[in-house]
Every structure is written in C-alpha cells, then in structure tokens.
C-alpha cells in the first residue's frame, strides 16, 4: 500500500466510511453524510489556511521588505486569510443548518396538520371514542 | 396520542432563531477576544489594502527592466542539458552499482545541476530585486499573495470534495 493511500485509508477508518444500515432512516443517513461533508470542508480549508500561512513568509522575504513592514504584512495577511476562511465555513455551516431547520419546520407543520385532521375525524364520528 | 403530542419538539420560530444566532455570536466574541479582534482586523486589512498600491511610472519601468534582464533562454538550455545528463546517468547506472562510465555521467549530471542551480538562483535574485522595487504592499506583492491564497484554498476545497465523494461511495 502506498503512503498516500495508507494515509487515506487511515483517514477513512477514522472518519468512518459506511453504507446506510438497515436500522437507520434515510434522514439519519443524510444527516450523518452532511456532517461528514462539513467536517471534510473544515479540515481541508483549515489545512489550506495553515499551509498558506507557512508559505507566506517566503513570499514576503522575496520582496526584501524591512522587518517591521514584513511583520505587519504577515500579521495582516494571516488575519485576512483567517477571516475569509472562517466566514466561508460559517456561511457553509449556516446554509446547512438553515436547510435542516427548513426541512424540520416543514415536517413539524405537516405533523400538526395531520394531527388536526385526525382530531377532526374523531369529532365527526363520535362512536369511535 | 397524547404521548406522541408530548414527544414533539417545538422548533423555535425564524425570529427566535435569528436572535439565537446573534446571541451566540456575541457570547463567542466576548469569550474569545483575541480570535474576534483578529477576525475584525483581518477584514479591515483586506478592505484597506484591497488590491495594493499602484506602481508609479518609474517603479513600473525599473521593475520591467530588471525582470527583462533575467535570461530565460540560459535557464531553458541549462535545464535541457541537465535533463540529458540525468538521462545518460540513469541509463548507465545499475541497481546497486555504478561503473566508470556511470561515474563519469554522474559527475556530468552533478556539474550540469550546479550550473542550472546557479542560473536559477541568479534569476530568483534578480526577481527579488525587481520585487523590492515594487514593494510588498504594491499591486504586484498583493497579487502574488492573493494568487497563493486562492491556490491553497482551491486545493483545500478539492480535498474536501474528493474526500466527501469517497465517503458517499
């Protein structure tokens, strides 16, 4: 097994690749997949942020800037990159949470309508009580 | 039926959710002052620096003249010579042995590599001189940093997409 595939294998074992089991509902499976996608995006982007910050000093050094300017640029750029990545992740998590909230709200409304109809049926046929 | 009614979870309304998010963000910002001030500083820096300061006519002229002095042909030729020497060395070397012909090819390869490295380092040094004329806060510097960021950001997203695809299979 090559090094890259071994790392991927270990990552997959850690994150838990699996198919939908008989005991879980589709909703449960979709939710777990969504969480996994969010974790993957968080890990990928946070890793990208760290690698970018590590390589940033090399770029700044090639401009032969004085140490103070270089440090100011380094701190400013690192903060900007962090702000952008965190905003992106926040928007991503927000979109998923909003979608899940919307689906749950629709399900809740449907359940309430169903209950109302059942109650009405019981009232219309008193001998069922 | 009454039991089912009791088990239902009442979801908060949209207005309540908004208030909940705002409260959450405010609490986080109050608790983690360094992270939140870094975030605000980062956005301000992004807005202030924007796409960097424009190069003046003199700066642009000097930058271009230094950049044009880099001998790309010499680097191309040295790179070709190194590739040929490396190929000759690999063709003559055994699994665990290197005879006299292989040793000669090896020393030629090392020599061409030294020449290539020297030419490349000279090129990097001239590029660095040209960049120093422009400055890190100039459009050249900011563009280079932005390009580097988008490259890593894209790689991070590609990693996430590929990994998610594996997870769904």
Quickly list DSSP for chain B.
Answer: -HHHHHH---PPPHHHHHHHHHHHHHHHHHH-HHHHHHHHHHHHHHHHHTT-BPPPHHHHHHHHHHHHTS-HHHHHHHHHHHHHHHHHHHHH--SS---HHHHHHHHHHHHHHHHHHHHHHHHHHHHHHHHHHH-TTBHHHHHHHHHHHHHHHHHHHHHHHHHHHHHH-
The rounded average pLDDT for each run of 10 residues, N- to C-terminus, in chain B (169 residues) is 54 82 91 93 92 90 93 95 96 92 96 97 94 93 95 95 85
ipTM for the predicted complex: 0.79
Determine contact: A43 vs chain B, CB below 8 A. Answer: yes
Is residue B19 located within the same domain as residue B40?
yes
Q: Is residue B164 part of a domain?
A: no
Residue A59: give the domain boundaries. Answer: 25-128
Is the CB of A74 inside 8 Å of chain B's CB atoms? no
With respect to residue A100, please indicate whether it lies within any of the assigned structural domains.
yes
Best mutation site among B10, B160, B169 for testing chain A: the one with the most A CBs within 10 Å? B160
Q: In terms of domains, do B59 and B41 share one? A: no
Please write the tens of the pLDDT for every residue from A19-67: 666 677 777 888 888 899 999 999 999 999 999 999 999 999 999 999 9
- A 10 A CB-CB count for B24 gives 10
Domains identified in chain A, total number: 1
Least confident of A4-8, A112-116, B55-59: A4-8
Best mutation target, A55, A77, A90, A99, to test chain B (most B CBs within 10 A): A77
Residue A16 makes CB contacts below 8 A (sequence gap 6+) with: none
DSSP A23: T
Q: Nearest chain A residue to B128 by CA: give it.
A: A62
Domain ranges, residue B19: 14-48
A5 has pLDDT over 50:
yes
Question: How much is the pLDDT for B7?
Answer: 56
- The reported pLDDT for the residue numbered A13 is 54
The yes-or-no verdict on residue A12 having pLDDT over 70 is no
A2: tokens are 């090559």
pLDDT digits (tens, 9 = 90+) for A64-101: 999 999 999 999 999 999 999 999 999 999 999 988 88
Closest alpha carbon within chain B to A104: B11
What is the pLDDT at residue A1? 46
Q: For position A114, what pLDDT does the model report? A: 79
Domain membership of residue A19 (yes or no) is no
Helix (H) or strand (E) holding A62: none
What pLDDT is attached to residue B150?
96
Q: Say if B3 falls within a structural domain.
A: no
Flag if B132 and A63 touch (Cβ within 8 Å).
yes
């Amino acid at each position: 097994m090559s090094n890259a595939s071994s790392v991927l294998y270990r990552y997959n074992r850690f994150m838990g690749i699996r198919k939908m089991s008989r005991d879980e509902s589709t909703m449960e499976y979709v939710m777990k997949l969504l969480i996994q996608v969010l974790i993957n995006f968080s890990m990928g982007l946070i890793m990208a942020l760290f690698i970018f910050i590590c390589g940033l000093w090399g770029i700044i050094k090639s401009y032969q800037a004085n140490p103070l300017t270089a440090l100011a640029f380094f701190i400013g750029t690192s903060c900007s990159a962090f702000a952008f990545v965190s905003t992106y992740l926040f928007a991503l998590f927000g979109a998923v949470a909003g979608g899940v909230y919307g689906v749950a709200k629709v399900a809740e409304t449907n359940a309430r309508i169903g209950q109302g109809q059942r109650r009405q049926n019981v009232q219309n046929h008193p001998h069922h009580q | 039926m009454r039991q089912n009614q009791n088990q239902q979870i009442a979801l908060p309304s949209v207005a309540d959710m908004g208030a909940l998010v705002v409260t959450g963000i405010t609490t986080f910002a109050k608790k983690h002052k360094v992270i939140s001030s870094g975030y605000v500083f980062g956005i301000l820096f992004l807005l202030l620096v924007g796409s960097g300061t424009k190069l003046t006519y003199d700066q642009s002229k000097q930058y271009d003249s230094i950049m044009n002095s880099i001998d790309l042909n010499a680097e191309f030729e040295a790179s070709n010579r190194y590739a040929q020497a490396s190929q000759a060395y690999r063709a003559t070397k055994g699994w665990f042995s290197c005879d006299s012909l292989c040793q000669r090819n090896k020393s030629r390869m090392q020599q061409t590599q030294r020449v290539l490295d020297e030419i490349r380092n000279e090129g990097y040094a001239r590029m660095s001189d040209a960049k120093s004329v422009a400055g890190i806060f100039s459009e050249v510097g900011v563009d280079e940093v932005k390009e580097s960021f988008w490259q890593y950001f894209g790689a991070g997203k590609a990693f996430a997409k590929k990994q998610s695809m594996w997870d769904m299979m």
